[in-house]
Amino acid sequence: MQLVFSDAQYWEDFLPLTFTRPVAEMRCGILKFSERWQKILENTEISFFTEAYLQQKFPEPEKKESLFLVTNFLPTDSVIQQIKDLKQGEALVYEDELIAAKINMDGFSLHQIEKMTDIKEDLVFFKKPSDLFTYNQKAIDFDFALLTKGRVSQELSSTNGFLGDKKDLFIEEGAQIEFSTLNTKTGKIYIGKNAEVMEGCNLRGPIALCEESKFNLGAKIYGATTVGPHSKVGGEVSNIIIFGYSNKGHDGFVGNSVIGEWCNLGADTNSSNLKNNYGNVKLWNYRTKAFEDTGLQFAGLIMGDHSKTAINTQLNTGTVIGVASNIFKEGFPPNLIENFSWGGFKGDEKFKLDKAYEVAEKVMARRKVALTDEDKAIFKHIFDEY
């Protein structure tokens, strides 16, 4: 059965994170939404129902019987069973929005649906970027149970200090942890395959350090924090999500934030997550083209893919950075930094597209990943249209 991961109405609400990916390819907890659903439903035949310019990279559905699924929520056991039990022409609805349907993608139409069932129980639903870090603890708990059920963790080296219950710590094969402290009293800690926690780190769960990633010497990590694969984190972080392939390798603080892929925060980059007046933080909304109240007292940085900050960059509370921006000028940059900004300030010239390709190729080659023609086409569309 083909799984069709749909952006539904949510793609624009997650910009700038979704400029370069469907909603299903965002990470929260330990896994991407797409990975979580593949694991839940034990199915690897996937496709995406997303923006036309992204379909070049993310395959569109084949015209056949499929399970159509909105991915950006955490299901309960009963909802999972309801999804598995769907028959052709049946759908599940949550808060007046369709979230799952068994339909044929040949001539896709909601008119195919003959029966809709409302889900009555409360679900953890992610509707905007700040929801990713706000509900990250719930996502880590969900994924921890999903990934570790029936499995045995690697042993924690005796050089480390440990507080809490060992059942809340899981260490994958090849991971290295020496001379650090780990505290699971406040939440679970998951250390991925071949990840490394260098000496002198202090980890206070919930934390997910994914495959091949590193906490650098002396890092201070507060939960709920997720560091996606092939990333490096140093200094101090609290309640952040890094999708993967990004580095915050040096001293400096980042809290209550989401950082995309292929980003780099220069040494002593700091992002404020609390206003001086302790008021609610506003974040830019690309749909309404306005700064909107998050209802949160703590909110830091939302950073699109391939963006970079210079050393000593100081970011205001509630900063949103687009794709492939390069921030290096003196002073506090504005709370909205445009895609391909060369400097970080309003009115700065754009980062030239060919130079953006060149930088991306160099950065990705370090992780033995190629910048494809599909990636370049996505870059060009963002450059031209946004």
- The domain that holds 11 is classified in CATH as 3.90.550
Ordered alpha helix ranges (H), 250-301 = none
| Shared domain check, 261 and 216 | yes
Kindly report the CATH number assigned to the domain that includes residue 360: 2.160.10.10
Split into its structural domains, the chain has a count of 2
| Shared domain check, 344 and 196 | yes
| Shared domain check, 170 and 308 | yes
| Shared domain check, 378 and 345 | yes
| Shared domain check, 139 and 196 | yes
Rounded Cα–Cα distance for residues 125 and 386 (Å): 27
Question: Residue 111 is part of which domain span?
Answer: 2-127
365: left (phi over 0), alpha (psi -120 to 50) or beta: alpha
> Phi and psi at residue 307, in whole multiples of 5°?
-95, 155
Q: Do 24 and 48 meet the contact criterion of CB atoms below 8 Å apart?
A: yes
What does each of the 386 residues of the chain score in pLDDT, given as a tens digit?
899 999 988 999 999 999 999 999 999 999 999 999 999 999 999 999 999 999 999 999 999 999 999 999 999 999 999 999 999 999 999 999 999 999 999 887 777 888 989 999 999 999 999 999 999 999 999 999 999 999 999 999 999 999 999 999 999 999 999 999 999 999 999 999 999 999 999 999 999 999 999 999 999 999 999 999 999 999 999 999 999 999 999 999 999 999 999 999 999 999 999 999 999 999 999 999 999 999 999 999 999 999 999 999 999 999 999 999 999 999 999 999 999 999 999 989 999 999 999 999 999 999 999 999 999 999 999 999 99
| Shared domain check, 24 and 147 | no
| Shared domain check, 269 and 205 | yes
Residue with tokens 């200094």: 235
The conformation of residue 341, written as its DSSP 8-state character, comes to: B
Q: Which of 88, 112, 127 is the last residue of a domain?
A: 127
| Shared domain check, 182 and 43 | no
| Shared domain check, 284 and 200 | yes
